[in-house]
């Protein structure tokens, strides 16, 4: 009995060691630079794009498009500890600030945090502030948000927990110290696994419905305002492409967690995914959605696949 248990224990130890090596693989901070700069730019563009309608979308009852009070009341049914802009509004009232003033200050805070994140100044604090303020705005405007906001929040969450600063940040100039390569590898692996889950289940849901097989869902997406950038008469000329494109999209997404890890196919699959998101941006005008997915993909799998990581080393060394 004991003789049989020894090989089993050794096998378990070997598998545990391999799992640890896979999760905590040593890597450079190049992916972290891409994630920080990309999300900083993403957040900056988000804040600028919504500036004119910020108070209109997030004002309370009777003062906005959709009442923030209603969105936050529904949010409280899920949990009262989920961050929201109502906290800042209530706090501002204690000091005599109006709701509009507090909302404008929150927008300025989001802009400032995104700029600091983009430059790499006070990286950790900037990442935490960016995540928190963006989450507050998304949850308080829950009835007017969509998938890009959840993806941006997820990316900021991983960035907030990752071992900052990276080599291309301003913080590195006076800190001159990088984190453990294995810890960098762990958070990159977490991001990679999250993307695999997103694509797999997104593709699976599409494949389970018939309207992606016959191209109807693709057609509906392209003719529905405000995504109808391509005239309908042009779309009709290429109607036979829609079933092919629909099947290709969900096969690409379902195959992502399988082919992105294979050395022979990872580069082709990554490029195909990036081109798909570029196509979404150009055909439907969903620029922020496309950009955040491109940033997440480039951070997760770009270094070492699309370009040698050594190229980043020479750039960083040149800056020093």
Residue corresponding to tokens 């905590």: 24
Any idea which of 16-25, 198-207, 302-311 has the lowest mean pLDDT? Answer: 302-311
The pLDDT value given to residue 106: 95
- Output the CA–CA distances (angstroms, integers) from residue 53 to 88, 130, 142, 146, 223, in the order listed: 19, 19, 15, 16, 25
The pLDDT value given to residue 196: 97
Q: pTM of the entire structure?
A: 0.90
The pLDDT value given to residue 65: 66
- CA gap 13, 113 in Å, rounded: 45
b or e along 164-187 (b: 16 or more beta carbons within 10 Å of the residue's beta carbon)?
Answer: bbbbbbebbeeeeebeeeeebbbb
Band of pLDDT at residue 320, cut at 50, 70 and 90: very low
Residue corresponding to tokens 């922020």: 288
Write down the mean pLDDT value for the chain: 89
Band of pLDDT at residue 255, cut at 50, 70 and 90: very high
The pLDDT value given to residue 107: 96
In this predicted structure, the answer to whether residue 311 has a pLDDT above a threshold of 80 is no
* Token code pair at residue 139: 């949850």
Strand partners, 303: 307
């Amino acid at each position: 009995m004991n003789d049989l248990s020894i090989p089993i224990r050794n096998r378990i130890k070997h598998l545990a060691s391999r799992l640890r090596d896979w999760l905590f693989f040593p890597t450079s901070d190049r992916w972290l630079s891409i994630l920080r700069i990309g999300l900083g730019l993403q957040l900056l563009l988000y804040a600028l794009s919504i500036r004119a309608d910020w108070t209109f979308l997030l004002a309370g009852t009777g003062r906005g498009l959709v009442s923030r009070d209603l969105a936050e009341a529904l949010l409280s049914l899920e949990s009262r500890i989920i961050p929201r802009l109502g906290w800042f509004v209530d706090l501002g009232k204690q000091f005599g600030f109006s709701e509009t003033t507090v909302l404008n200050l929150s927008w300025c805070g989001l802009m400032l945090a995104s700029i600091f994140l983009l430059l790499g100044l006070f990286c950790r604090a900037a990442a935490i502030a960016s995540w928190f303020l963006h989450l507050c705005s998304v949850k308080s405007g829950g009835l007017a948000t969509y998938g890009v906001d959840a993806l941006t929040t997820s990316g900021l969450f991983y960035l907030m927990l990752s071992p900052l600063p990276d080599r291309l940040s301003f913080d590195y100039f006076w800190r001159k110290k990088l984190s453990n390569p294995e810890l960098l590898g762990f958070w990159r692996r977490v991001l990679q696994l999250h993307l695999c889950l997103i694509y797999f289940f997104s593709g699976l849901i599409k494949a389970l419905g018939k309207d992606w097989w016959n191209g109807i869902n693709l057609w509906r997406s392209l003719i529905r305002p405000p995504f109808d950038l391509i005239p309908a008469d042009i779309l009709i000329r290429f109607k036979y492409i829609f079933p092919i494109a629909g099947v290709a999209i969900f096969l690409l997404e379902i195959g992502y967690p399988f082919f992105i890890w294979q050395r022979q196919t990872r580069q082709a699959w990554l490029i195909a995914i990036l081109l798909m998101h570029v196509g979404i941006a150009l055909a439907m005008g969903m620029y922020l959605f496309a950009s955040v997915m491109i940033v997440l993909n480039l951070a997760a799998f770009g270094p070492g696949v699309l370009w040698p990581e050594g190229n980043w080393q020479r750039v960083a060394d040149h800056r020093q």
